[in-house]
Structure 1
Amino acid sequence: MRITGGLYRGRVITCPPGVIRPAMDRMRESLFSILQDISNQSFLDLFSGSGLVGIEAASRGASPVHLVEMDGGKRSTILRNTSFVESEIKLFIANVLRFLPQAKLQYDIIYADPPFPMKNKLAIAELVAKHQVLQPEGLFIIHYPAEEQKSWPEQIGSLSWIDERKYGRSLLRFYKETRQEHAN
């Protein structure tokens, strides 16, 4: 697997042992093309696997980048994969559904790529909205199998659906955080 763009373009990333479904190059390139300039934006990569999408975000200027992966067996590979990243990148070994309610930061972009067999993926978006893990106007992006398309509503709490792209048998769905910052 290779980084497709930015500062670290062409760098090879190792796939960790265990079950993993790396994001396709074409889909990653498209995702970051849609996001455009993400310099100095905070980025949260949920279900990070190898760390590839988070490293791609750092390569394109995102900072800080936080990775969440539940499988502790992937830790050493992810740390090795991220060792050359010069900007702030941090790995959390945690269950995503437990991490989100306790997140210490509001992110500009949250990317979730849960295992396709995972049930109730909607709970991820619900937790992001409920616990205000996104900055106002921030983006929540979920990668999921096409068979689940009808289970994703246009509105999830304060998250509003703004775009969707299909890549083979999978889709990327984009939600924008629509709550407003309250003035004091």
Structure 2
Amino acid sequence: MSRIIAGVAGGSTLSSVPGSGTRPTTDRVKEALFSRLESYGILDGAYVLDLFAGSGSLGVESASRGAARVDLVELAEKPAGVCRANAAMVNRILGSERLRVHRTKAESYLQRVPPGLVWDLVFLDPPYPLDEDGLAAVLQSLSPRLAPGAVVVVERSTRSPEPVWPAGMERFSEKAYGETTLWFAEPAGAKEG
């Protein structure tokens, strides 16, 4: 059973995706991830994008902790329905419509977002079957949509290679948690000047 760890909706139980095909981020990994993100000071007022959202747990955690807008993108029908339920619960608690669910492919969503919309924080937790070329294509489409100082978090199997970062994006950290590795990237040159 997954839950929202902290913030306004902290302690709330999230609906989870029935069956297989998704791999939820464990509470241990989620706690470590959000502790790091809090130390960056990036969550309050952030625009957050959760690609391959599954149940939407990373996006709803972000909203609970002060993100201004969260877009949950999930193609599969059952997970998208769970995203809608979790988003509706958190929107009710927050008293606002901060969370939006988009049932579509990540690549399609990135191609049709309104001009000028950029994100401060992006989560990518693609299914393991998505190959490295597919992930690289999504990262390439995402790169021009990042705000200055944005953070991109890619969750992959520890057995997977480092993602291929497009021009305009560079890795600044990684951390393994058992079978899961989190890769952290930012717009290229973010620490310069």
2:126 corresponds to 1:125: no
- Find the aligned partners of 1:11 and 1:75 in 2 and give their Cα distance: 19
2:141 corresponds to 1:136: no
Report how far residue 75 of structure 1 moved: 3.3
Report how far residue 24 of structure 1 moved: 0.7
Q: Which consecutive unaligned segments of at least 5 residues does structure 1 have?
A: none
| Map of 1:16 onto structure 2 | 17
Q: Which of 70, 73, 93 matches 2:103? A: 93
- Find the aligned partners of 1:14 and 1:73 in 2 and give their Cα distance: 11
SS in 2 for 1:165: strand
Range with bigger deviation, 48-57 or 8-17: 8-17
Q: Which of 140, 145, 161 matches 2:157? A: 145
Report how far residue 160 of structure 1 moved: 1.2
- Residues 72 and 174 of structure 1: is their aligned pair in 2 closer, same or farther, counting only changes over 3 Å? same
Equivalent position amino acid for 1:142 in 2 = V
| Map of 1:35 onto structure 2 | 37
| Map of 1:115 onto structure 2 | 127
Report how far residue 74 of structure 1 moved: 3.0
2:58 corresponds to 1:44: no
- Find the aligned partners of 1:33 and 1:164 in 2 and give their Cα distance: 14
SS in 1 for 2:58: helix
2:187 corresponds to 1:177: yes
Contact 2:59-2:71 within 8 A present in 1 as well: yes
- Find the aligned partners of 1:100 and 1:80 in 2 and give their Cα distance: 23
Q: How many residues of Structure 1 are paired with residues of Structure 2 in the alignment? A: 176
Equivalent position amino acid for 1:97 in 2 = E
- Find the aligned partners of 1:74 and 1:147 in 2 and give their Cα distance: 25
SS in 1 for 2:28: helix
| Map of 1:163 onto structure 2 | 173
Q: CA RMSD in A?
A: 1.7
User: Could you state the TM-score of these two structures normalised by the residue count of structure 1?
Assistant: 0.88
Report how far residue 179 of structure 1 moved: 6.3
Percent of pairs identical after alignment? 29
Equivalent position amino acid for 1:17 in 2 = P
